[in-house]
Structure 1
Amino acid sequence: MGRKAKFNEGVIVRKGPGKKAKKTERSNFSKKLDSQHQKHRARKRLQKIKERQDKQKLLSEKKKKLDRIQRKELSKKQTEEESEVESEEDESEEIKILPSKGYSDDNKLWLKPKQKWIVQNENINDDESDDNGEGDSDTEDDHDDVNNEVEDEEEESDDDIEMENGKEELDDEEDSNLKVENLNDLSDDDSDDQDEFDSENEKSDKDVDDLLPIEKQNIKLKKKQAKDQKLADEEMQLNIANQEVFQFPIKESEEEIQSLQDVQQRIREVIAVLTDFKKLRDKTHSRSEYLDILKKDLCTYYSYNEYLMEKFMQLFPHSELLEFLEASEVQRPLTIRTNSLKTRRRDLAQALINRGVNLDPIGKWSKVGLVVYSSQVPMGATPEYLAGHYIIQGASSLLPVMALAPQENERILDMSAAPGGKASHIAAVMKNTGVLFANDINKDRIKAVVGNFHRLGVVNSVITCMDGRKYPDVLKGFDRALLDAPCTGTGVVAKDQSVKTSKDQQDIQRCYNLQRQLLLATIDCVNAKSATGGYIVYSTCSVLPEENEWVIDFALKKRNVKLVDTGLEFGTEGFTSYRQFRFHPTMKLTRRFYPHTHNMDGFFVAKLKKFSNLIPKSADHDEVTEENVENEKK
């Protein structure tokens, strides 16, 4: 076969430890993450250490610089002393030192606070005048620097050294009058004077030298802020003292006021007077006169008729009245209701967000509502809308159905169903089970109910078109009933501005008479012996008590019903007393909603429980029905 080739011959193979002998590195386990507070403290410690190091470095540089300057000045001083000894015999005038006020110690010439030297020279050589002039100017500049603000530190050190040189020259000439001592030999009196001077200037030069530039700027900023605050307080006190007292307008001044800004200003002034009437009133005029001016100005500014404005003034306090009127001028946010028969709110929101719609859930109180802030497409023309995944509906319109709380497989009546928003909501809660009767007297509006039911997929409904007051003669025995009664619309002024001027006393009287009849008919349609129901929900989009509490109080007297809790988590309680009228104590179970407090249309919701099918007979009932018939004929 031949001999084997030795390819590895001559190659030195180094044999080391095997794999088992190899030592693995120690595993480093990550430390537990620090909390946010610990991280913040650690950063703060590092920052303080860095600031301390920077400060020490800056101080060391200053000392080195001062040492260099002092060495130069010492050599310069020696040469000057030699020249002064030669020229001392030829001097014709002596330098006189005037004592400064407030100082009597012997070492006042070289203390840190600079003194003001007055030098009188008449015939001095050019060299001496130059030297003395430098010393004078330096001392004066240093004195100004102490009284004002601290300048650059390098310039200060130069000025201090030059000033000391000038003082040493004078010390040689005035040895008889002045004595030089060391800092360690200073007496207590001298230190007290020094402390007083330092307190006046707020910072000694030694402290200022130790400060960083940013700390100096901080001192300046605090001084400026304190000064500005003091001026602002003085100005505010001056404005309060000079505040003008409202003067009752004369007929001539009323004619002069033409702009809306003047009217608004007078509205605020009158309301301010009415809030503290005893103190700010004009004794020659009564409260009713102030109220007349306020009513007239509010009608002018907000374009209401006087009757409706008077109703609002009786309903709200004056400060709250302005908030209500302002909120009624602004449109409420656009809200939509998810059709739970076809989709879920989460899926609908995601689909609309993908189409460029900015929206959010309407709140914790609703599981199907969404509020739309902005959209790139019309909300009434999206594929989701056409497919019946949602309906455009006000937030307040969700409340009556939530209070009704329909159950599956029930017979439910919606007495005024058009355009079908609340009725379709009832069908969605029932999950298309049971029977839903949707009624409306207007034939044109009933078409909208048919269209919405078809688009939303409601199949458990029976749509009727007849007068609701005659409904008990046709159908009875419903488990639950909803009456969204026709009203004046004082809670939805933002949607219909014509309400401001078109509604008067006759309209309100006609509305609440119709509402009373419809509510009694709705109660008669409900079966009190129903196993799951026997509930009636009454709602209006009005804020006037005539259409709300008065109607409910009338029904409590005429039918065997009682008020129960609506189950709504928010809203203000209904009135148990209004002006001279007193209502049933359980009226606090009803709920009111306002534009300025709940950011939704003005609304009223009441829930009644029927406990007997018997209708109490009384002469008063017959009289009321006759009056209602006469009003309807008119």
Structure 2
Amino acid sequence: MTSEEIEKKLPRKFVEKIKKIFPAQLIPDILKTFAIKRPTTFRINTLKISRRKALEEFRRLGIKVKEVLWYPDAFILTFPDLQTLSTTHLYQEGKIYVQNLSSMLPPLLLNPQSEDKVLDLTAAPGSKTTQISALMHNRGEVIAIEKDKARFEKLLANMRLQGVENVKVYNRDGIGIWREYFEYFDKVLVDAPCTSEGRFNILRPKTYRYWNQLKVKRMAKKQKGLIVTGFKCLKPGGSLVYSTCTFSPEENEFVINYLLKKFPQSCRIEEVKMGIKNIMPGLIRWNEVRLPQEIKNCIRVIPTELMEGFFICLFTKTKSLGE
């Protein structure tokens, strides 16, 4: 299917937005990613199995993989398919976790240490929560928040399967939690609920059937509340990662700018360095609006045949909000 044919199937205003965000020469290849079935990617759950043991099991079971250069615990499945992989003890015992490569980036950028106190503000279904726990070797303290009851139950099930022991989970709205945890955490992840534009696929029309600009605006309002809450919970000197799996600047750069304007003396955007090529800087101009230069330090993951579109920003809290 050509990029022109794909374009006709997607919402017109969404395509217009994509064409404004990305350089013209990338548009045909980006549009083609909305019509593909991406290869299965997964990470080893080091809480249950070492990388060496996992590789031995891959060979024993006839599982063929490609390594991911920027994350030694991540792999691309080349044989068999996901359905067959899901019948193995590696999958059923939580020794591996199927996850898109883009989704693995925010916890890596957060870089939680074993002694840290970490907040995962919108945690379900648990892909990043369990990855954080693995990066911390099941030590330290992680608080995970999930408002939706069904998603909360999914989060609990994933944590049990993955052998997570250092996480306390709360079924509640994250907005307002700063009153109990003001400047308590060393690290905060705000992987915000979003319009999920990075997951649009014409093979699954329901992924974009209800998309519209009003939904983008509603999400942006919710995201601003979450990022402010997360920042209030963060210790001075601590790090906050904000991420979405969507393209709209209203849900990304404009949310970042909202935090910068709200706490101009206390937050700094750090330059993001990841070992991947398919990235571009955050936008500093959208329509007629100019944004601060430092927003260029954010990254946009350009969608490819392997990776979904993503947005990531790393903040440091430079000064207490109580000072």
What TM-score do the two structures reach when normalised by structure 1?
A: 0.48
How far did 1:298 drift? 6.4
Structure 2 residue 149 is the aligned partner of structure 1 residue 447: no
Q: Name the residue aligned to 1:501.
A: 209
User: Stretches of 4+ moved more than 4 A in 1?
Assistant: none
Counterparts of 2:62 and 2:47 in 1: how far apart (Å)? 24
Counterparts of 2:53 and 2:300 in 1: how far apart (Å)? 33
What letter matches 1:322 in structure 2? Answer: P
Counterparts of 1:313 and 1:591 in 2: how far apart (Å)? 18
Counterparts of 2:322 and 2:19 in 1: how far apart (Å)? 38
Three-state SS of the structure 2 residue aligned to 1:342 is coil
Structure 2 residue 218 is the aligned partner of structure 1 residue 513: no
Of 446, 450, 475, which aligns to 2:181? 475
Judge conservation of contact 1:349–1:359 (CA < 8 Å) in 2.
Answer: no
Q: Name the residue aligned to 2:297.
A: 589
For CA contacts below 8 A with separation 6 or more, give which structure has more relative contact order. 2
How far did 1:299 drift? 5.0
Of 241, 244, 249, which aligns to 1:545? 249
Q: Name the residue aligned to 1:373.
A: 78
How far did 1:429 drift? 1.0
Structure 2 vs 1, CA of residues 350 and 321 (structure 1 numbering), >3 Å: closer, same or farther?
Answer: same
Counterparts of 2:89 and 2:301 in 1: how far apart (Å)? 33
Residue-by-residue CA offset, 1:471-506 (whole Å, 9 max, x unaligned): 112323111100100111111113853243321111
Counterparts of 1:496 and 1:550 in 2: how far apart (Å)? 29
Counterparts of 1:322 and 1:568 in 2: how far apart (Å)? 25
What letter matches 1:583 in structure 2? Answer: L
Judge conservation of contact 1:359–1:371 (CA < 8 Å) in 2.
Answer: yes
Judge conservation of contact 2:133–2:142 (CA < 8 Å) in 1.
Answer: yes
| TM alignment of 1:321-332, pairs within 5 A | 321-332=27-38
Q: Name the residue aligned to 1:434.
A: 140
Larger of the two Rg values belongs to structure: 1
Judge conservation of contact 1:411–1:436 (CA < 8 Å) in 2.
Answer: yes
RMSD over aligned Cα, in angstroms? Answer: 2.1
Residue-by-residue CA offset, 1:170-194 (whole Å, 9 max, x unaligned): xxxxxxxxxxxxxxxxxxxxxxxxx
Counterparts of 2:299 and 2:22 in 1: how far apart (Å)? 16
What letter matches 1:582 in structure 2? Answer: R
Q: Name the residue aligned to 1:569.
A: 275
Of 549, 558, 562, which aligns to 2:262? 558
Counterparts of 1:608 and 1:527 in 2: how far apart (Å)? 12
Of 240, 249, 252, which aligns to 1:536? 240
Of 174, 195, 206, which aligns to 1:488? 195
| TM alignment of 1:241-260, pairs within 5 A | none
What letter matches 2:186 in structure 1? Answer: D
What letter matches 1:589 in structure 2? Answer: N
| TM alignment of 1:112-151, pairs within 5 A | none
Residue-by-residue CA offset, 1:554-613 (whole Å, 9 max, x unaligned): 1111022110123322322111223322111111211111223x7300001100011222
What letter matches 1:504 in structure 2? Answer: N
Q: Name the residue aligned to 1:8.
A: none
Counterparts of 1:405 and 1:339 in 2: how far apart (Å)? 16
Judge conservation of contact 1:415–1:522 (CA < 8 Å) in 2.
Answer: yes
Q: Name the residue aligned to 1:418.
A: 124
Judge conservation of contact 1:298–1:309 (CA < 8 Å) in 2.
Answer: no
Counterparts of 1:587 and 1:356 in 2: how far apart (Å)? 45
Counterparts of 1:496 and 1:553 in 2: how far apart (Å)? 33
Structure 2 residue 45 is the aligned partner of structure 1 residue 336: no
Q: Name the residue aligned to 1:66.
A: none
Counterparts of 2:113 and 2:204 in 1: how far apart (Å)? 34
Counterparts of 1:447 and 1:500 in 2: how far apart (Å)? 26
| TM alignment of 1:280-429, pairs within 5 A | 300=8, 303-362=9-68, 364-375=69-80, 378-429=84-135
Q: Name the residue aligned to 1:4.
A: none
| Gaps in structure 2 of 5+ consecutive residues | none
How far did 1:350 drift? 2.4
Counterparts of 1:496 and 1:420 in 2: how far apart (Å)? 23
Counterparts of 1:392 and 1:535 in 2: how far apart (Å)? 26
Say which structure is richer in strand: 2
Three-state SS of the structure 2 residue aligned to 1:524 is helix
What TM-score do the two structures reach when normalised by structure 2?
A: 0.91
How far did 1:382 drift? 1.0
| TM alignment of 1:75-94, pairs within 5 A | none
